[in-house]
RNA sequence: GUGGGCGUAGCUCAGUCGGUGGAGCACCGGGUUGUGGCCCCGGAGGCCGCGGGUUCAAGUCCCGUCGCUCACCCCA
């Protein structure tokens, strides 16, 4: 048996319906905040990710699906969306025109990681990115929009965590101080953190080892060393999102794994997902557009993990499965042919209709109609073909009436409009 | 990449001391010459993940391997 590739999931009808509902609500909310949808390629030149995410990050070093195409160009299945959005922004000259530019995109990402709960090799993100404005109001707006959306999904057991990662003016100095602090007592760090001192010292703040945790309590924090501009920016963001009944916490230990982030970083976590607890994360990346060859424009964005979000909504009624308005139970070849014609007439009027094409007893066909949750069943046999009238059974009520076959489709359409239509 | 748990019917899972593999749900048919749900009767469905070993005999014990899963790591 050929199985799906490791870490890649089939979305079956029940779950696909929930995903559609998620996307529909997200689109609706994003529209209110002025975000427009864009759709981007899944494949990009490898260089794009190496330059944006960072050469020495785990994502680029060991998690990307990278291969050479038939011309020998190195291509990569995107491990995240921001780099592609920025590339498209620059390439299509979307910076032209006045004001902030806001985009969202929804789709699959690929990372070669060991699968576990809430982590897959093909996973899906709902991404929002905004370009051109450095004002803290934009940071606040984005965070408020994210929380607005999560609230509309009915999520309450979530925590919003905010931090500032500084800027090229203040972060390098801090990073230097921290590295020196850690290097002085490197032998007390766990093996992972000994490696992190060289690769990503900020990550030590995130370590789960008790001894590492104790050590970093004495370490310098970025909060203390933010430059005045970064300090003001963070304070203003916090001030702006306060007063909307939103609870949040500032956590100096929140760090991001991607190199391009500057200043505001935030994450939304839950206790209900196991180890992979972040359902959304994002932040500012003021230097990225320029670093990728575009104009020197500030930007900010976030991503929602769609699998993780969907996992939190399994109990909700989001995404009801469709059911036919009419099921045609036909007995015999002649009736099946007539039923087939009726089926098509009804569908062309926009109603959902189904019938069974195999020779099964009326009882069996009724049973199928019941399981499909059909509203009505039309029973069609030789008798009905002769008289031109057929019984129409209302499944929920159990009542039955006689309908003329001539003009049946429009009659049903009128009834649908009255009973279930808009 | 490292570690733990688990692989038995479509699904969820029993299977004792090694002795001819089961249940519930789902599916098919019947109980109604042409009427669903509830109920009753019957039926179909298994390389017990795969390979090797021990044994008179292996779903069961041992080794290997593959898969799934959870955690580390990383992150959405």
Per-residue pLDDT at A205: 79
Asked whether A327 and A368 are in contact (CB, 8 A), the reply is yes
As a whole number of angstroms, the distance between CA A236 and CA A254 comes to: 19
Query: Among chain A residues 247 through 276, which have CB within 7 angstroms of nucleic chain B?
Result: 256-258, 267, 274-276
Q: Is the CB of A119 under 7 A from strand B?
A: yes
Per-residue pLDDT at A422: 55
Query: Among chain A residues 136 through 175, which have CB within 7 angstroms of nucleic chain B?
Result: none
As a whole number of angstroms, the distance between CA A278 and CA A311 comes to: 12
> What is the CA A110 to C1' B69 distance in angstroms?
20
Which DSSP helix (H) or strand (E) runs through A150?
helix A136-152
Of A195-209, A333-347, A367-381, which gets the smallest average pLDDT?
Answer: A195-209
Q: Is the CB of A115 under 7 A from strand B?
A: yes
The mean pLDDT of A285-314, rounded to a whole number, is: 94
As a whole number of angstroms, the distance between CA A40 and CA A105 comes to: 8
Residue A315 confidence class, pLDDT cut points 50, 70, 90: low
Q: For residue A391, what is the DSSP state?
A: E
Q: Please, which positions of strand B sit below 7 A from a protein CB? A: 1-3, 27-30, 32, 34-37, 67-76
Per-residue pLDDT at A421: 63
Q: Is the CB of A398 under 7 A from strand B?
A: yes
Q: Determine the angle formed by the axes of helices A191-199 and A171-184, rounding to 10 degrees.
A: 150
Residue A305 confidence class, pLDDT cut points 50, 70, 90: very high
Residue A317 confidence class, pLDDT cut points 50, 70, 90: low
Q: Which position has the higher pLDDT, A125 or A17?
A: A125
Per-residue pLDDT at A40: 97
Residue A70 confidence class, pLDDT cut points 50, 70, 90: very high
Virtual torsion, Cα A399, A403, A407, A411, nearest 10 deg: -20
| Residue A222, pLDDT above cutoff 60 | yes
Tokens standing for A74?
């190195």
> What is the CA A152 to C1' B64 distance in angstroms?
52
| Strand-pair partners of A301 | A129, A283
Nearest Cα to Cα of residue A319 among A4, A13, A113? A13
Nucleotide nearest to A118 (CA to C1'): B76
Distance of CA A417 to the CA centre of its chain: 34
Per-residue pLDDT at A141: 97
Strands of A262-270's sheet, edge to edge?
Answer: A36-37, A101-110, A122-131, A299-305, A278-284, A262-270, A158-164, A249-250
Which DSSP helix (H) or strand (E) runs through A418?
helix A408-419
Q: Is the CB of A354 under 7 A from strand B?
A: no
> What is the CA A93 to C1' B52 distance in angstroms?
64
Nearest Cα to Cα of residue A327 among A301, A356, A348, A298? A356
Helix, coil or strand: residue A344: helix
Q: Between β-strands A353-355 and A376-380, what pairing exists: parallel, antiparallel or unpaired?
A: unpaired
ipTM score of the complex?
0.87
Protein residue closest via CA to C1' of B49:
A1
> What is the CA A415 to C1' B65 distance in angstroms?
62
pTM: 0.90
Query: Among chain A residues 291 through 350, which have CB within 7 angstroms of nucleic chain B?
Result: 303-305, 307-308, 331
């Amino acid at each position: 048996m050929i199985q799906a590739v490791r870490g890649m999931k089939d979305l079956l009808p029940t779950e696909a319906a929930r995903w559609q509902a998620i996307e529909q609500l997200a689109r609706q909310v994003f529209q209110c905040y002025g975000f427009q949808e864009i759709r981007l390629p899944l494949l990009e030149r490898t260089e794009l990710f190496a330059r944006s995410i960072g050469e020495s990050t785990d994502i680029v070093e060991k998690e990307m699906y990278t291969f050479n195409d038939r011309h020998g160009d190195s291509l990569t299945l995107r491990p995240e969306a921001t780099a592609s959005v920025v590339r498209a922004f620059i390439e299509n000259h979307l910076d032209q025109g006045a004001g902030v530019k806001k985009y969202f995109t929804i789709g699959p990402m690929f990372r070669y990681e060991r699968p576990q709960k809430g982590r897959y090799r093909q996973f899906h993100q709902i991404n929002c990115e905004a370009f051109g404005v450095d004002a803290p109001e934009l940071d606040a707006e984005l965070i408020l929009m994210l929380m607005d959306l999560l609230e509309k999904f009915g999520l309450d057991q979530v925590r919003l965590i905010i931090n500032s990662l500084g800027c090229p003016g203040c972060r390098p100095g801090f990073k230097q101080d921290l590295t020196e602090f850690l290097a002085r007592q490197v032998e007390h760090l766990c093996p992972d953190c000994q490696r992190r001192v060289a690769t990503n010292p900020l990550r030590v703040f995130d370590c789960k080892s008790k001894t590492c945790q104790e050590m970093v309590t004495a370490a310098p924090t970025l909060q203390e060393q933010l430059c005045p501009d970064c300090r003001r920016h963070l304070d203003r963001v916090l001030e702006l999102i306060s007063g909307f009944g939103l609870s949040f916490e500032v956590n100096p230990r929140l760090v991001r794994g991607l190199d391009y982030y500057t200043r505001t970083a935030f994450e939304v976590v839950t206790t209900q997902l196991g180890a992979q607890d972040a359902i959304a994360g994002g932040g500012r990346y003021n230097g990225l557009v320029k670093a990728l060859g575009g104009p020197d424009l500030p930007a900010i964005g976030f991503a929602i993990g769609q699998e993780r979000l969907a996992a939190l909504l399994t109990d909700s009624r989001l995404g009801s499965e469709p059911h036919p308005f009419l099921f045609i139970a036909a007995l015999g070849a002649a009736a099946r042919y007539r039923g087939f014609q009726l089926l098509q007439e009804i569908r062309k009027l926009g109603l959902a209709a189904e019938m069974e094409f195999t020779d099964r007893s009326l009882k069996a066909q009724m049973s199928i109609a019941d399981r499909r949750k059909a509203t009505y069943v039309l029973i069609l046999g030789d008798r009905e073909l002769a008289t031109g009238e057929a019984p129409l059974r209302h499944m929920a009520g159990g009542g039955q009436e006689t309908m003329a076959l001539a003009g049946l489709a429009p009659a049903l359409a009128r009834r649908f409009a009255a009973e279930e239509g808009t």
